[in-house]
Amino acid sequence: MHLKHLFLIAWIALIAGCGGNAPAPTNPAAVGVDDLMVGGPKTGSQTTVAVVSPALTSQYHVQFVEGAVEEGESYGWKVQSLAGDRETNFAAQVDLVESAVRKGVEAMTICAINDKAIVGAIEKANEAGIPVFIHNSLTELEGVDIAGYTGFDQRKAGRLCGEYAVKILSEKNSDATSTVYIITGIPGFHSNERVAGFHEIIDQHPNIEVVGSGPGNWERLGGMNLAETALKANDQVDLIFAVSDAMAQGAAQAVQEAGKDTMTLGLDGNPDTLKDIQAGVVTASLAVFPKEMGKIAMQNIKNYLDGEAIERRNETPLKIIDASNVGEYLN
């Protein structure tokens, strides 16, 4: 199947088969990293591929895993989902990759929490002859051998959010000054690139003022707490831009509780966020179609294992979803 064919069903598949957030152990060190492997240890001669996520606390990663498992199982593979307890746990992710190497998986795809922290574990996979792929990033990882990348352009995503912010702020305030608060993730590539792209656009507009920013650590509660503080510290915040949906949802909750008219913009396009957009709780989100990304990642791995030529970089689509078009993406 050609990779492009999956894009034809991306709009429908975005919300298909979505479940709630999967529980994660609160203390990975206590239970042992092998217990975090969904599907159990590798057995027999069945092809086993590991999908390494930062955590499964975000619907983004849940959706990616669902797409990867669905596609991998269609090949007769065992797809093992490996995830730590939270998206800030670098050490747990390193341990999970090293555990997959010890178990001798045929391939793995990783969404790295921190590029520098994961390099040592990837070196061990390279030494073992296990092909490593990266998802949710197209940026080259230096010093290690990566077979391929699947994801979206993080800075482009930030720019698209910036363009949308300029549009809705102009519609709200015309040429008057508008104020924006930015909620970042944890310091690192994904958060930094999204924020940089956003600034590339809004910094061209002197009537848009950024009144502050802070890290929400990719968590809903973090987004809510930062938004509460921003709303109290400023007479008016016209827009809160969060670099993930979970943090945008938390910010939207704070806005509701404060009785403000602040708009909220996220990035992921997760099914639960689309419902919030339809309900008028969240203003908009940049959809990145993680379930389709998971399918594409597995296709790329299969082609590689079959000895076929593959695209080293597989860029996936992006789309702003707001009240004007959210109905097209919900059943």
Looking at residue 315, what is its pLDDT? 95
Picking from 233, 213, 326, 221, the residue whose alpha carbon sits closest to that of residue 272 is 326
Q: Which domains does the chain have, with CATH numbers?
A: 3-152+290-317 (3.40.50.2300), 154-287 (3.40.50.2300)
Residue range 140-156: average pLDDT? 96
How does residue 22 score in pLDDT terms, banded at 50, 70 and 90? Answer: very low
310 versus 39: which is more confidently predicted? 310
- Using pLDDT thresholds of 50, 70 and 90, give the confidence band for residue 12: very low
Q: Are the CB atoms for 240 and 251 separated by under 8 Å?
A: yes
Question: What is the share, in percent, of the chain residues with pLDDT greater than 90?
Answer: 81
pLDDT, residue 44, reads 52
> What pLDDT is attached to residue 187?
87
Diameter over CA atoms, the chain: 67
Tell me the average pLDDT across 31-58: 68
Determine the average pLDDT of the residues in 27-33.
Answer: 37
Q: Which residue has the tokens 């015309």?
A: 174
Percent of the chain with pLDDT over 70: 86
Predicted pLDDT of residue 68: 98
CA–CA separation, 209 and 120 (whole Å): 41
**Which residues, 6+ apart, have CB-to-CB distance to 36 below 8 Å?**
24, 25, 28, 82, 83, 84, 92, 96
The one-letter code for the residue type at 178 is S
Q: From 314, 318, 310, 301, select the one nearest 75 (Cα to Cα).
A: 301
* Gyration radius of the chain over CA positions: 20
In terms of Cα–Cα distance, which of 151, 242, 238, 124 is closest to 191? Answer: 242
pLDDT average, residue stretch 317-329: 96
Q: Over the stretch 149-190, which tens digit does the pLDDT of each residue have?
A: 999 999 999 999 999 999 999 999 998 999 999 999 988 889
Q: Give the pLDDT confidence of 109-132 residue by residue, as tens digits.
A: 999 998 889 999 999 999 999 999
CA torsion 135-136-140-145 (nearest 10°) is: -20
**pLDDT for 263:** 98
For residue 45, the model assigns a pLDDT of 77
Give me 171's structure tokens: 């519609």
CA pair distance 193, 200, nearest whole angstrom: 10
DSSP string for residues in 119-168: HHHHHHHHHTT--EEEES--SPPTTS---EEEE--HHHHHHHHHHHHHHH
For 234-284, what is each residue's pLDDT tens digit? 999 999 999 999 999 999 999 999 999 999 999 999 999 999 999 999 999
The sign of the dihedral angle between the CA atoms of 151, 156, 161, 167 is negative
pLDDT at 304: 97
The larger pLDDT score, comparing residue 21 to residue 257, is at 257
**Are the beta carbons of 239 and 210 closer than 8 angstroms?**
no
Other beta carbons within 10 Å of 45: 6
E strand segments, the chain: 37-38, 48-55, 78-84, 107-110, 132-135, 148-151, 178-184, 208-215, 239-242, 263-268, 284-287, 313-315, 319-322
Local structure of 304: helix, strand or coil: helix
Mean pLDDT of the chain: 88
pLDDT over 90 (residue 74):
yes
Question: In terms of pTM, does the model score above 0.85?
Answer: no
DSSP bridge partners of 83: 53
Mean of pLDDT values over 201-207: 97
Question: What is the pLDDT, as a whole number, of residue 88?
Answer: 86
